[in-house]
Structure 1
Amino acid sequence: MPDLSPAAFILLQGARVFAPDDLGICDVLLAGGKIIAIDSAIPADIVPDCQLVDLSGRWLCPGFIDQHVHLIGGGGEAGPTTRAPEVVLSRLTRAGITTVVGLLGTDSVTRHPESLLAKTRALNEEGITAWMLTGAYHVPSPTITGSVEKDVALIDRILGVKCAVADHRSAAPEKGQLASMAAQSRVGGLLGGKPGVTVCHMGSSKKGMQPLYDILETSDVPIGKLLPTHVNRSEYLFEQAIEFTRKGGVIDITSGIPEPIPPAQAIDRAVRAGVPLAQLTLSSDGNGSQPKFDEAGNLVGIGVAGFESLLETVVELVNGYRFTLPDALRPLTSSVAEFLGFDNKGAIAPGKDADLLVMTPDLVIDRVYARGRLMVKDGVACVKGTFE
C-alpha cells in the first residue's frame, strides 16, 4: 500500500481561499492532516522542514462531501450483467470528493451491508474519509447486527439508515415499519454519538413525500433527521420537497439526474422559492445504476452514474445562474457537514481536516488534498487504490 502519512508541515501559499466564504488571498498551514493556521501571510520559515506549495492564481476550497454513493456498485435491475462494479479511489478524488457516504440500492440480495462496511474501511485506509448507511430499499432493513439501532450505535462507520419509498422497486413499507426504522436510527445515533439520520430514496410514485409525513405523524423523530433524496426527479416531487423545507426539513438534490429538473436549476429554483442553502444538499448517486423505465414499469435502458456531475453543477450555478462561488459550494460542503454533524469537515478553518480542493479560476480541478495528503496533482491522481 502507498504511504498515506502527509508531510509534517505543508504551507499552501497565495491561493484565494473560499472557506466556503471568500477570505481573499491567504496562506494555509497544514500539519498532521489538519488545518492549523490561516493568515494573509504566514512566514515560510515558521517551522523547520516545511513543504512550500505556491498556489498563486489558484482557488482553494473545501473538499466535496458526497453523501450518496454506491461504493460497492448499484444496479442489477436487468439481471446479473447489470450489476455496477465497485468504485475505485481515484474516481472519487479526481472529482474532488474527499469525504463519501456509501449505501446500498435496489439489490440487497447479492450485495450486503457487511461488504459495504469492508469497502468503507478500505477507502479510509486508502486515504479519504468514508462512512456508510445501513439498510437498503427494503423494510425491514438488512443490517449487520440484526438491528438498525445496534448498527448505528455500535459500528464505527455507520451514520444512519437508508430506505426507499414512493418507488415501484421498494418493499411497499407500512407506516409503522418506516416510523420504527427511523426511530431506531435516531436512538442509535444518540447512543453512538452519530447523526442517526434516515435517508429516503424518493421514487416517481404519486405518493411523493407522504411516507415521510407518515413517519413524522406516527413517531417523534425530528424532521431534521429525515433526508429525502433524488427530489429533482419529477416536478410533482420537487414542489412537495420545497414545501418539506418550509416545515424545517433538508432536501437532497441529485447531480446525476439531468432531467426533468437539472440539478443547478433545482438549486436555483429552491433558493428563489426562499429555501436557505443550509437546507439544500447535493449528492451524485455515483456508481449507481441509471435505469430507464417505460410507462408500464418495464426496464428499457440502463447506465452507471459518474461523479463529474458534482463539479459540473457548481460550474453551472456560477456561470449559468450567477451564484457566487461560496454559495455554489455550500450544498457540497458546509450544508452537508452541518446535516451529518461533521464538525471537522466542510470548511477551511483551523482545527478542520485538511480536505482541500485546488481549482483554477475557471473551475478546473488542479489538486486535491485528503486529510493533508496530496491525492491529485495537475488533475491526475497521484495516489491510487490498492488494485488500480
Structure 2
Amino acid sequence: MLTLIKNADVYSPQPLGQQDMLIAGQHILSIAPSIELNTNVAVTCIDASGCIITPGFVDSLVHVCGGGGEDGFASRTPEMQLTDATLSGITTVVGALGTDSIARTHSNLVAKTKGLREEGLNAYCYTGSYHFPAPTLTQSLENDIMFVDEIIGVGEVAISDHRSSQPCAQRLAELASHARVAGMLSKKRAPVSIHVGPADTHLALLHEVAENYDVPLNRFYPTHINRNRALLDAGIRFAAGGGTIDFTTSTTEYDLAHGEYAAAAALAYALNANTDPTRLTMSSDGHASLPVFDDSNNLIGLEVGREVSLLDAFVDAVKKYGVPLEHALMSVTSNPADVLGIKKGQLAAGADADLLILDSQRLRPIHVFSRGQHMVEEGKAIITGRFE
C-alpha cells in the first residue's frame, strides 16, 4: 500500500519545511518538496495543508500490564489498551514493572508487550523492577536482554525512595555492568531506568557509582526528576555530567500543590538553565499508580497515570511555557529513542513510518501511523485493541 501525504510542515524533529511524504508498507519511502506519482497502483492521498508532520511519540515508561498495589490488592491498576497510546500520539512504548514485582511478573509483562506488537504498536519492555536482586523472566538478567527481543534494558530500579531495596553503589554498578555486557553482545544499548523517589539523597547514588566504578552516568536513565525543585536542580547537574533526565507527565493535584513541577514546566526550566536539549525527555508513567504519601510515608491517596498526559505536556510546553516546537518534540521522540538505543523518533527516507499529522494550531493528532498502519484518522481510532 502507498500513502502520499501532501503539503505538510515536516519536523523530523528538526524542521524540514513544507514537504510531501510517501509511505510504502511499513517505511517512509521519500520526503521531498514535491512528490508526483504516475502509477496504476492504488495510492491513498492525504492533503495535510496547514498541518504538521512529526515522528510518533516514544513513551519510555509505561506500566502496560498495570501497576500499583500500595493500598492492597484492590489498588492494582488496570492494563493499558492500544488506543490509550495511539489516540495520544504514542507509537512506541516501553513497559516496566514497578513497586509490585511479586503479583506482577515478567511473563505477564513480556506477553502484554508481544500483544501490543500484534495490535500494531512498537512495544518494548524492561527486565528487573524497583528491587534487588532484580527479578527476571529467565532467572538471568543477561539472558533476558540477550535472548528476548522485546527486552531492551533494566528498570525501573528505585533509589531515594522508602519502597526501594536501598541498594549500595557496588550493587548498582554490578547491575549496570551486567546490563552493559549483555547489551554489547546483543547489539542493544541496555540502559538502566532509575525511579527516583522524594528522599533528599536525590541522584547522589548515581554519582557515587560513576566516581568509583567504570560506569558512566549515561548508563543510567533517571525519571521523575520533576518531583521538586531540589531534585530538578540535581537533575540539571546530572545532565551537565553527560546523563539524560526524564520528567514524568502523569501527576496529581496534591503533588503539584506540594512542590512538584509539571513536566512541561520542568522542561522549560531546564532549557532556561542552558541544559543541552538532547539530554531532556518526558514520559507518561501511564497506568502506574500515583500514590500520595504524607511526611511519615503513610499512604493518603492514589491515582492512576495516563498516557494522554504525554501529549498534554508536549502541547503545554509549546503553548504555555514557550518551549520551541523542535525542542518539545525532541523530548518525546528522538531523545528517548537515543537513550533506549532504538531506531525510532525521526523521519527520513527508509525510516519506520511512525508519524503523526498534527493540527498546527492545537498540536493535537489528526492522523496517527504506526509502522505504516493508519491507526487514527480524523482524530478517531480506526484500529482498536482486541477487547476494546
**TM-score tier after normalising by the smaller chain length:** over 0.9
Equivalences for residues 184-199 of structure 1 within 5 A? 184-199=178-193
Equivalences for residues 278-293 of structure 1 within 5 A? 278-293=278-293
How many angstroms does 1:222 deviate by? 2.5
Could you give the per-residue CA deviations for residues 55-76 of structure 1, whole angstroms, max 9, x where no partner exists?
Answer: 2222111100000000000100
- Report whether the alignment pairs 1:173 with 2:173: no
Q: Which residue of 2 aligns with 1:337?
A: 337
Q: Which moved more, 1:37-46 or 1:104-113?
A: 37-46
CA contact 1:182–1:215 (8 Å) conserved in 2: no
Give the secondary-structure state (helix, strand or coil) at the position aligned to 1:291: strand
How many angstroms does 1:23 deviate by? 1.7
CA contact 1:293–1:301 (8 Å) conserved in 2: yes
Identity %: 41
Q: Which residue of 2 aligns with 1:270?
A: 270
Q: Which residue of 2 aligns with 1:294?
A: 294
Q: Which residue of 2 aligns with 1:45?
A: 38
Could you give the per-residue CA deviations for residues 222-274 of structure 1, whole angstroms, max 9, x where no partner exists?
Answer: 22111111010122211111111111111111111363211111111111111
- The separation in 2 between residues aligned to 1:181 and 1:148, in whole angstroms, is 9
Equivalences for residues 1-388 of structure 1 within 5 A? 8-45=1-38, 48-162=41-155, 163-257=157-251, 259=256, 260-343=260-343, 345-362=344-361, 363-388=363-388
Could you give the per-residue CA deviations for residues 292-313 of structure 1, whole angstroms, max 9, x where no partner exists?
Answer: 0111111001010112221211
**Runs (5+) with no aligned partner, structure 1:** 1-7
- The separation in 2 between residues aligned to 1:182 and 1:190, in whole angstroms, is 12
How many angstroms does 1:323 deviate by? 2.4
TM-align CA RMSD? 1.3
Give the residue type in structure 2 aligned to 1:349: A
Give the secondary-structure state (helix, strand or coil) at the position aligned to 2:125: strand
TM-score (norm. length: structure 2): 0.95
How many angstroms does 1:174 deviate by? 2.3
Give the residue type in structure 2 aligned to 1:42: I
How many angstroms does 1:218 deviate by? 4.0
Give the secondary-structure state (helix, strand or coil) at the position aligned to 1:384: coil
How many angstroms does 1:326 deviate by? 1.5
CA contact 1:233–1:257 (8 Å) conserved in 2: no
- The separation in 1 between residues aligned to 2:40 and 2:23, in whole angstroms, is 11
CA contact 2:169–2:206 (8 Å) conserved in 1: no
| Runs of 4+ in structure 1 over 4 Å off | none
- The separation in 1 between residues aligned to 2:273 and 2:131, in whole angstroms, is 33
CA contact 2:2–2:23 (8 Å) conserved in 1: yes
How many angstroms does 1:152 deviate by? 1.0
**Runs (5+) with no aligned partner, structure 2:** none
- The separation in 1 between residues aligned to 2:170 and 2:11, in whole angstroms, is 45
CA contact 2:28–2:349 (8 Å) conserved in 1: yes
Q: Which residue of 2 aligns with 1:3?
A: none
Equivalent residue pairs, number: 380
CA contact 2:84–2:308 (8 Å) conserved in 1: no
Give the residue type in structure 2 aligned to 1:308: V
Give the residue type in structure 2 aligned to 1:93: T
CA contact 2:268–2:322 (8 Å) conserved in 1: no
TM-score (norm. length: structure 1): 0.95
